[in-house]
Structures are given as C-alpha cells and as structure tokens.
Amino acid sequence: MHGLGNDFVIFDNIKNSMIHDTKFINKISNRRIGIGCDQVLIIENTDTPENFKVKMYNSDGSETGACGNGTRCVADYLMKKNDLNSVIIKSISNDLVCSKTDNLVTVNMGVPKFSWNEIPLSKDQNTQNVKLDEFEAFCLSIGNPHAVIFINNLEELENLNINSIGPRLEKNSIFPEFANIEFVSVLKDKSLRMRVWERGAGMTSACGSGACAALVAASSLDKSAKENKIVLDGGDLFINWLDDGSVNLSGDTERVFEGFIGD
C-alpha cells in the first residue's frame, strides 16, 4: 500500500508467527531484490477485536515508533477486513486512534514532545533553534525525532539536494537516535510545502509524522494556523493540531497489490 507514494509492505501476521529479523526486512525493502518499500509494517496478534499491535521497521531494518502514512494504510486495511469504522493501532511509542471519512483515513498521532531529552537530543538546549551545520531547525518528537528547517525561498527549497544534505543532518551528533529532516516553505496561500529525508529510509515522496512535525513547528512560530494542508512530492496531507494538544493526520491511501510469500 502507499500514502501519497510513501510506500509500505504490510504483513498480516495475526494468525502466523513469521520471523522478521533485520536481514528479512532489508531484503523485502530492497527495490532491486525484494518487493521494495520505505517501511515494513507487521500486524501482530491482539486480544481485542478493535486493537491491533503493529511493529514498524524502516527499510534499513531499524524499528520505529511512529509512521503516520503507514499507520493510515494499516488502519484502512484492517477497517475494511473487519468491517470497522475505527481501530486502535498499538506501536512501541503509543496507541494511535484511526478512523475513516469518505476517502480520507485519519490517525491521531498523539501529543508532540518538545523537551530536549524526550526528542531526544544529546544535550539540553533551545529545541526551537537547533544549529544543524548550515541550517537552524525546530526539533520535536511525534513518536519519533524530527528536525524542521524553514526555507524562506521556495525556489531554493525545490532545488535543495536532499540526497546529499539529508544523510549528514539525519546523523548529526545532536541526535543520539538520528532524526527525520523536514524542509518547509510557506506558500502564497499559506499552506506548507515540504520535502523530507526520513530516518532509516532516505528521501521519500511523503512522510506523515513529518507533516505533523512541520505543522506543529510552523504553528508554534506563527507561520501557520493550527490546521493546514501540507504539500508533498506525492500529494497533499491535512494536519489539525487539536485543542487537546494532539495532532490529527488525514489523507488518501491506496492498495497496490497483495500476495503471499512462500518458504
């Protein structure tokens, strides 16, 4: 499945006990020798019909606690399979409440964290103004660490060589667990244009948790309203920073194909 080109291999592991080590994740994720994807999501067995445990892995094999578009895809699959209007996806970070209205699948990503040790950063500092080489970033956690960099010139944003910049910023020494890097500009209609380098996956056409981070950072700096459209390479996501402090992420999902993997 994919959400705006942010693509995932989803395993329904509820009735099976599939072994999924790093080598397996790497092979499945590889676009030349496997199926190919940004992340691998594995649905595990649960005790209740509307609560599902999902393990989320980046293409490099590392486990992640938040994957907004992946969660929306899994939720869409599970709601259709079980004839449900809402589900709870349990990740290693938190419980994610998901629902569907018309063609938009929504996940509540929880409450952002802004403390340096919760993101985490390697030392105490002003998380809204973190020096990353030639850039300044607003850092926060949406279940995983993010660094949002605002670019005033849209042309400059579109011409950024993210495949070169992204890897070194992701692994900057300030991030003990590495970080997702978002580059953002405010458009004339006040919506936000975002390009992204994802931790453990590389440059992707969309990132749900990254879109949430971009909206929260922009709103905190008075660059955006608390509800806005995020324009990504793969399409549009819609973010709403709610009054209770949590963040809703909405957008389309699409099933590409399904099948079975044999021994």
Nearest to 219 by CA among 145, 144, 114, 130: 114
List the structure tokens of 184: 């953002």
8 A C-beta contact, residue 109 and residue 246: yes
List the structure tokens of 134: 């030639």
Annotation marks residue 207 as catalytic: yes
- How far is it, in rounded angstroms, from Cα 121 to Cα 255? 36
Task: Note if the bond before 120 is cis, omega within 30 degrees.
Answer: yes
Annotation marks residue 212 as catalytic: no
168-206: buried (b, 16+ CB within 10 Å) or exposed (e) per residue?
ebbebebbeebbbbbbbbbeeeebbbbbbbbbbbbbbbb
From 67, 73, 98, 212, the catalytic residue: 67
List the structure tokens of 91: 């990740």
Length of the chain, in residues: 263
Q: Residues 219-222: contacts with CB within 8 Å, 24+ apart?
A: 220/128, 220/138, 221/128, 221/138, 221/150
SS3 22: helix
Phi–psi pair at 114, nearest 5 degrees: -115, -10
Residues near 14 by beta carbon (within 8 Å), at least 6 away in sequence: 43, 44, 45, 46, 52
From 37, 98, 139, 207, the catalytic residue: 207
What are the residue numbers of the active site?
A: 67, 207
